[in-house]
Structure 1
Amino acid sequence: MLKLRLKRNGRKRQPSYRLVVMEQSSRRDGRPVDEVGYYNTITKQSYFDIPKINKWLEEGVQPTKTVADLLKKNIVS
């Protein structure tokens, strides 16, 4: 099953995350199927490729709870 989830990158104590589509059973930093955005927790800077995200959601990809909350906050406002 494919999930829309966060993949950590960045330095120690300076995390930033990529929003990716990947297999549910793969490890957190494994190879993604597709990268659809990023989120920096320190600067609160984010970018989401809305057409790609909508395409994946229509195909049945399930977002994790954290990703769903991020999308609600950043897309609606």
Structure 2
Amino acid sequence: MLKIRLRRMGRRKRPFYRVVVSEATSPRDGRFVEEIGIYDPLTEPETVRIDVERALYWLEHGAQPTETARSLLRKAGVLKAYHERRKARKAEVQGTQG
């Protein structure tokens, strides 16, 4: 199963994170499929940059975000766009059936 999660980078006591899509069984800082964003908690305000189109692509293909990644996706507006797409697709399917 694919997960959207954080990969720790940076040096000791100065972390920043990359938001990546990786296999659930791979180590935290190990192999990943694609990098879709960054998160720097130490800047003021904290930096969150996510490639919305790629994040939506992976969510639609079944990638499950971890709790922390989910909160970052929510801040970036990705989850709202994902739910709107699902809602529109569901309405489209309902319209063609009935």
Which category describes the TM-score, using the shorter chain as reference length?
Answer: over 0.9
Flag structure 2 segments of 5+ consecutive residues without an equivalent: 81-98
Q: Which has the higher helix share?
A: 2
User: What is the number of residues matched between the two proteins?
Assistant: 76
Instruction: Give every structure 1 segment of 4 or more consecutive aligned residues whose post-TM-superposition deviation is greater than 6 Å.
Output: none
Cα offset, 1:74, TM superposition: 2.8
Flag structure 1 segments of 5+ consecutive residues without an equivalent: none
Q: CA RMSD in A?
A: 1.0
| Structure of greater relative contact order (alpha carbons < 8 Å, 6+ residues apart) | 1
Task: Please tell me whether the aligned partners of residues 8 and 16 of structure 2 are also in contact (alpha carbons under 8 angstroms).
Answer: yes
Q: Larger C-alpha radius of gyration, 1 or 2?
A: 2
Q: Which segment is superposed worse, 64-73 or 17-26?
A: 64-73
SS in 2 for 1:47: strand
With the length of structure 2 as denominator, give the TM-score of the two structures: 0.74
With the length of structure 1 as denominator, give the TM-score of the two structures: 0.93
